[in-house]
Chains A and B, each alone.
Chain A
Amino acid sequence: MEPAGGAHGNRADDPLEVYELRLYLAGHSPKSVRAVENLRRTCEEHLAGRYRIELVDLLENPQLARGDEIIAVPTLVRKLPQPVRKIIGDLSDTEKLLVGLQLRPAGGGP
């Protein structure tokens, strides 16, 4: 079994790590729809079987924005593994998304 690994460790290699993701959206705007699609696709490709996605519509639950200090939408919050990471935007740049989720080291090659 591999050690827990540093912040820059390549967690994609750890098959036991479960990714708990929360995506904050505001209604069903095109940006929201794109963000959901992009997130699902990337997770299937890189984290098949070990991720959980929770969608939060702030229009329905505005009070939830305070907990994770959400300002922009869409915002993806990686609750687990620690530490918490936030990725803002419609997640259309897959490379940046992978870096943000620390599935690939920052500045890593294609």
Chain B
Amino acid sequence: MSSDPSRNGVQPEPSAAPAAPAHTAPPPRALPGGGVSRAHRLVALVVDRPGVLNRVASLMRARNFNIDSLAVSRTDRADISRMTITLHGDDVAVEQAAKQLYRLIDVLKVQDVTSEPTVEHELALVKIRATDSTRAEILKLVEMSRGRAVDVSAEAIIAEVSGPETDVDAFVALVRTYGIKELVRTGAVVMARGAQSIEEALKR
């Protein structure tokens, strides 16, 4: 989280701002945020204590941020959990979300990895309606999407697909015509490419 909160605000230069006569309407002050809304990925390392997930979720709700997905897991360190939060918002709003997360005592580190090169993965299980006439076709599509049929029964196939969110979206759209009986997605997990490590950054 190393950004300048003022970058969204276009401000008059001081030299161009003498006390103007009262009848000239001054330019409106830029509000924080108001920029383009886009998907952001936040990675948060938190102390693994009871209720920490509740704290994060409660904060996001109370501060009016909408979480698209939230994935929580252990890390290599027993006392630390990792959360991957995806949300929509402009850069300033998401930075505000990250700063608010930092205020939680149990949050150790928050990083917005949206603009960094990352590996992003999500896993989905899709239970697709299958008949004798469509089964082969569906299996072919699963294979083409680099997925796996993990359960095949008389009337359905469970396909496992993984990859970036967009790949999963594409697969789901592809098989929707056959009838999706059930769908579960884990939500994205991300990791920055290269040798840098958010976990090692903790050991300052």
Say whether A associates with B: no
Q: Which residues of A are in contact with B by a Cβ distance under 8 Å? A: none
- Give B residues with C-beta under 8 Å from A: none
